[in-house]
Structure formats: C-alpha cells, structure tokens
Homo-oligomer: A and B are copies of this chain.
Amino acid sequence: MQHKKPVILITNDDGVTAPGIRALVEAVKDLGRVIVVAPDKPQSGMGHAITIGSPLRVDQVNLFDGVEAWQCTGTPADCVKLAKDKILHGPADLCLSGINHGANHSINLIYSGTMSAAMEASIEGIPSAGFSLLDYRWEADFELAKKVVRDVVTRMLERTMPAHFLLNVNIPRVDAHLYKGLKICRQANSKWAEDFEQRTDPRGKDYYWMTGKFINMDTKPGNDVEALEEGFASVVPVKIDFTDYAMKEWLEIEWKQ
C-alpha cells in the first residue's frame, strides 16, 4: 500500500447527495484512488438489507470534483456488492462508509445501514470502517469528523491490518477544542424503548409512528456511549461471527441428553 495508491470505496446510507459523504470524500481523497458508490436516496434504518426481489440500477454522477461516483437504487450493502462485481471488477483496498448523520454507537449498530455497508465489505475481506457523527441534522458541522476520519484512515493504511478488520467509529458533537482523541471501546449494552405514536388518518384508520428513547443499561467502563459522553471518538472493532461462545458451552452441557 505504500507503493501503489490504495483503492478506497466510499458509500453511505444517507444517499449520495448527503453532506456527510461529501465530508468523507474530502477527508480522504488524497490518500488513494477514491470511488463513490452510494444509494440514490436515504436508506437509514435499513440494517443489513439486500435487494433480491427486484433488480438494481446504477448511474454515474458528477457530484465530487475529480472523483468517480455512482448512484445505485439499492441498499448500502447492495452498493458494496455491486461496486465489487460491476464497477471495481474486484475488491477495494479499503471501504469507508458515512459520515452518517446521527449516532451508530452501541445497539444502533444493528439497525445501521452505514455499518451494514462496512460489514459487507469486511465479509469480502476488505478492511473497512463506518463513521457516524452524533448530529443528525443535514447542516451538521463535519469539520471535527473529517479530522477523526483522517486520523483513523491514516492508521489503517500505515499498519498491516488483521483479517476482517472492521471498525464502528462514532464522533461526538463537541467543539474541536473539547475533543479528547480516539478511544478503543466495546459496544455498550443498550436498547431502544419504543413508544409508537398512534394517529388517525383522514379516513379514520389508525397508523403508528415509531418513536423511542435510548436506554444505556451499561454501567461498566470501556463502552462506546461512555467514551462519547467524555468527548472521545469511539472506535469499536466489530466481528462478523455472531456466535455466542459462552452460550454455546452452556447449551452443550444443558441440552445434552
């Protein structure tokens, strides 16, 4: 990677026109050959959805100065799959996803289209990272986030990474002088307490809007929510093997007949 420019695939889940992906491209465009393949519309909350029941379309767009870019009708995971097979004709050296408008720390990872793209790349053996800023507004300030991205990506390129290298990076919404640096963390034990808001449509039929309150049940140090509250950018390495090995041992004993 020192000798040849790395191919950096960039995607997101807020869509190719989101300010966050523009910030990501700007942060790394001199570090390699950047290619953007991103959804043509917002895909937040898509989790690791893939499109199997309908075909995909992809169109080249001229949105990033001097950077090859494509918009795709599919999900973030679709974008990574399609990029590899039909645009790059092979794996990228690095896949970066984001910068998401809003948090993907703790349990949010599981619902995150941003992270699903990074996970998809990791399954393909491409070192990858998802970046999310704790500010969901379209007009969010990405200056600190760009600095964090640059720090993380430089570290990724400088060292030989272990296989299936996959990071979930969240950036706090703080003034730059209050930012404390990167912190390696684990995923906080947390959940959303849903509260569906019931409304009635003009024809008298009920419908429901999902709303909810984030609940951090984690009281032990070293979790990503705590790090963000302290002003760090949280870096959680993520695993694609979801096996619960402790539970596996329990089952092997308890379910034996």
Please give the distance in Å from A234's CB to the nearest CB on chain B: 11
Interface of A is mostly: mixed
The answer to whether B49 touches A86 (Cβ under 8 A) is no
> Contacts A184-B255, A250-B162, A251-B235 known; A208 to B82 CB distance under 8 Å?
yes
> Contacts A47-B49, A124-B191, A187-B242 known; A237 to B210 CB distance under 8 Å?
no
> Contacts A191-B123, A194-B85 known; A58 to B208 CB distance under 8 Å?
yes
Q: Please give me the residue from chain B that is nearest to A80 by CB atom.
A: B194
Q: How many residues of chain A get a CB closer than 8 Å to chain B's CBs?
A: 72
* Set B48, B207, B239, B255: member contacting A57, Cβ < 8 A: B207
Top 8 closest pairs, chain A to chain B, by CB: A47-B48, A237-B247, A239-B244, A47-B47, A237-B244, A186-B243, A55-B207, A47-B49
Taking the complex as formed, is A45 at the interface, i.e. its CB lies under 8 A from any CB of chain B?
yes
Residues of A whose CB lies within 8 Å of any CB of B are 42, 44-53, 55-58, 77-78, 81-82, 84-86, 107, 109-111, 116, 119, 123-124, 155, 159, 162, 164-166, 182, 184-187, 189, 191, 194-196, 198-199, 205-210, 235-245, 247-248, 250-252, 254-255
Q: Please give me the residue from chain B that is nearest to A72 by CB atom.
A: B208
Between-chain CB contacts (< 8 Å), 22 pairs: A44-B53, A45-B49, A45-B52, A47-B50, A47-B77, A47-B116, A48-B48, A50-B111, A55-B209, A56-B208, A86-B196, A86-B198, A110-B119, A123-B191, A159-B254, A162-B247, A184-B255, A186-B245, A187-B242, A237-B248, A239-B243, A242-B242
Q: Give the residues in chain B near A244, CB-CB below 8 Å.
A: 164, 166, 237-239
> Contacts A55-B199, A208-B86, A210-B51 known; A239 to B235 CB distance under 8 Å?
no
Please give the distance in Å from A215's CB to the nearest CB on chain B: 11
Please give the distance in Å from A174's CB to the nearest CB on chain B: 20
> Contacts A166-B244, A196-B56 known; A111 to B48 CB distance under 8 Å?
yes
